[in-house]
Amino acid sequence: MRRIAAPSLIFGLIILLPLAAMVSLTLGTVDISLADGLNAIVGNSSSAQINTILFDIRLPRILLAISVGAVLASTGAVMQGLFRNPLADPSLIGVSSGASVGASLMIVTTGGFIQVGALMGLSLVALGAFLGGFAATLLVYRLATSNIGTSVTTMLLAGIAIGALAGALNSLLSYFSDNDMLRQISLWQMGNLSGASWAKVSIMGVVAVLLLVSFPRESKALNALLLGESEARHLGIDVQRVKRRLIVLTALGVGVSVALAGLVGFVGLIIPHMVRLVIGPDHRWLIPASALAGATLLVIADSLARIVVIPAELPTGILTALLGAPFFVALLLQQRKDV
Amino acid sequence: MTMLADNISLHLSGFDLLRNISLEVQAGKVTAIVGPNGAGKSSLLKVLTGEMAPTKGEVRLNHRLLDEWPLLEKAQMLGVLPQHTMLNFPFTANEVVGLGRIPHQTGLVKDRQIVSDALDLVDGSYLQKRFYTQMSGGEKQRVQLARVLAQIWQPSAIGEQFLVLDEPTSAFDLSHQKLTLDIVRQLAEKGVGVVMVLHDLNLAARCADNLVVFDGGVIAAQGTPEEVLTERLIDKVFGVKSIIAQHPVTKRPLVIT
| DSSP secondary structure code for residue B8 in this structure | E
Residues of chain A neighbouring B50 (CB-CB closer than 8 A): 233
Go through the domains of chain A in sequence order and give each one's CATH number: 6-338 (1.10.3470.10)
Residues of chain B neighbouring A228 (CB-CB closer than 8 A): 82, 85-87
Average pLDDT on B88-107 reads 94
pLDDT classification of A146: cutoffs 50, 70, 90: confident
What is the rounded distance in angstroms from the CA atom of residue A63 to the CA atom of residue A201? 6
Q: Which of B99, B105, B149, B162 to mutate to test the interface with A (most CBs of A within 10 A)?
A: B99
Residues of chain A neighbouring B75 (CB-CB closer than 8 A): 234-236
| DSSP secondary structure code for residue B92 in this structure | B
**ipTM for this model:** 0.92
Q: Is the pLDDT of residue A2 over 70?
A: no
Which residue among B75, B89, B90 sits closest to A236, beta carbon to beta carbon? B75
Q: Backbone phi, then psi, for A317, in 5-degree steps?
A: -60, -30
B102-B107-B111 Cα angle (round to 5): 65
Looking at the complex, report in whole angstroms how far the Cα of residue B154 sits from the nearest Cα belonging to chain A. 15
Listed by number, the residues of chain B in 8-37 with a beta carbon closer than 8 Å to a beta carbon of chain A are: none
State residue A209's pLDDT score.
Answer: 97
State residue B140's pLDDT score.
Answer: 95
Query: Taking the CA of residue B139 as centre, how many other CA atoms within 13 Å lie in the half-sphere pointing to its CB?
Result: 16
Q: Is the pLDDT of residue B141 over 90?
A: yes
Q: pLDDT, tens digit, for every residue of B193-216?
A: 999 999 999 999 999 999 999 998
Q: Is the pLDDT of residue B10 over 50?
A: yes
For B102, name the nearest residue in chain A, comparing CA atoms only.
A235
What is the rounded distance in angstroms from the CA atom of residue B74 to the CA atom of residue B56? 22
Residues of chain A neighbouring B82 (CB-CB closer than 8 A): 228, 230-231
State residue B118's pLDDT score.
Answer: 96
For A239, name the nearest residue in chain B, comparing CA atoms only.
B71
If phi over 0 gives left and psi between -120 and 50 gives alpha, with beta otherwise, what is residue A109? alpha
Q: pLDDT, tens digit, for every residue of A196-238?
A: 889 889 999 999 999 999 999 999 999 999 999 999 999 999 9
Query: Taking the CA of residue A52 as centre, how many other CA atoms within 13 Å lie in the half-sphere pointing to its CB?
Result: 4
Total Cβ atoms within 10 A of residue A10: 17
Average pLDDT on B89-117 reads 94
Lowest mean pLDDT among A152-156, B30-34, B188-192: A152-156
Q: pLDDT, tens digit, for every residue of A64-123?
A: 999 999 999 999 999 999 888 887 777 778 888 898 899 888 888 876 455 544 555 567
User: Could you tell me which of B133, B192, B204, B160 has the C-alpha nearest to residue B62?
Assistant: B160
Q: Which residues pair with B21 in a beta bridge?
A: B8
| Helix runs in B28-136, H state only | 41-48, 71-77, 93-99, 108-121
Q: What burial class does residue A86 get, using C-beta atoms within 10 Å of its C-beta: 0-12 exposed, 13-18 middle, 19+ buried? A: middle
Q: Indicate yes or no: CB of B100 within 8 angstroms of CB of A235.
A: yes
Instruction: Please state the separation of Cα A299 from the chain's center in Å.
Output: 12
Looking at the complex, report in whole angstroms how far the Cα of residue A95 sits from the nearest Cα belonging to chain B. 25
Question: Identity (one letter) of the amino acid at A335?
Answer: Q
B185-B190-B196 Cα angle (round to 5): 40
State residue A116's pLDDT score.
Answer: 46
State residue A338's pLDDT score.
Answer: 59
Q: Indicate yes or no: CB of A228 within 8 angstroms of CB of B85.
A: yes
Average pLDDT on B174-199 reads 93
State residue A184's pLDDT score.
Answer: 82
Q: Is the pLDDT of residue A291 over 80?
A: yes
- Chain A within 8 Å of B79 (Cβ-Cβ)? yes
State residue A111's pLDDT score.
Answer: 62
Mean pLDDT of chain B: 92
If one compares B100 and A35, the residue with the highest pLDDT of the two is B100
- Chain A within 8 Å of B196 (Cβ-Cβ)? no
Looking at the complex, report in whole angstroms how far the Cα of residue A298 sits from the nearest Cα belonging to chain B. 26
pLDDT classification of B138: cutoffs 50, 70, 90: very high
Average pLDDT on A302-314 reads 86
**Whole-model pTM above 0.95?**
no
Q: Indicate yes or no: CB of B85 within 8 angstroms of CB of A280.
A: no
Average pLDDT on B113-137 reads 94
- Chain A within 8 Å of B88 (Cβ-Cβ)? yes
Note whether B35 and B234 are within 8 A (CB): no
Long-range contacts at A326-329 (CB < 8 A, ≥ 24 apart)? A327/A274, A328/A270, A328/A273, A328/A274
Residues of chain B neighbouring A234 (CB-CB closer than 8 A): 49, 75, 78-80
State residue A81's pLDDT score.
Answer: 92
Which residue among A236, A276, A281 sits closest to B102, beta carbon to beta carbon? A236
Q: Percent of chain B scored above 90 by pLDDT? A: 79
For domain B2-256, the question of CATH label 3.40.50.1370 is answered with: no
Q: pLDDT, tens digit, for every residue of A182-199?
A: 888 888 888 888 888 898
Number of helical (H) and strand (E) elements in chain B, helices listed first: 9, 12
Name the maximum alpha-carbon separation found in chain A.
Answer: 65
Strands of B129-207, DSSP E: 162-166, 193-197
Lowest mean pLDDT among A149-158, B58-67, B186-195, B247-256: A149-158
Q: Is the pLDDT of residue A44 over 80?
A: no
Q: Is the pLDDT of residue B222 over 60?
A: yes
